[in-house]
Structure 1
Amino acid sequence: MADEVDIANELMDNEVSRALGKLRQGQSNIKTAGAKTCIECGEKMPQPRRQLGFNLCVSCAEDAERRKTLYL
């Protein structure tokens, strides 16, 4: 039977795998779409945001920040 540490490790492994998959997908999006789309959701990125070098739309960036604070 899994204890709390095993469950936590499995959750972290799943999160890391998901993040790596999105990173790989984002890298291919950047190559194919010229960074014109959000690497998280695929929505079109506004020109000013692209010029600043962002690769997430505002909504996805806010979600990423929320997720990050959960693991601090």
Structure 2
Amino acid sequence: MLDQILPGFYLAVYFLGLLIEQAAIVGLNALNAANLQKASHLAIANLYSYFQVEDESQEDQEDAMLVNA
């Protein structure tokens, strides 16, 4: 049973680290480690999805700028 719990734990820690990093980049100071540890799994998944979409849209904008240059 422990072998089933640990991968999920490490994955959650990894995602929390990514969220904290991305939040700091965009200045969302409320998304810190203490607050994110209180958040539900669904909230963490939604935040991760939000930042993934933001990253993809920035990449698309950069690609468009390169094509137009």
- Name which structure has the greater RCO, CA cutoff 8 Å, separation 6+: 2
> Normalising by the residue count of structure 1, what TM-score does the alignment of the two structures yield?
0.41
- Give the helix-richer structure, 1 or 2: 2
> Normalising by the residue count of structure 2, what TM-score does the alignment of the two structures yield?
0.43
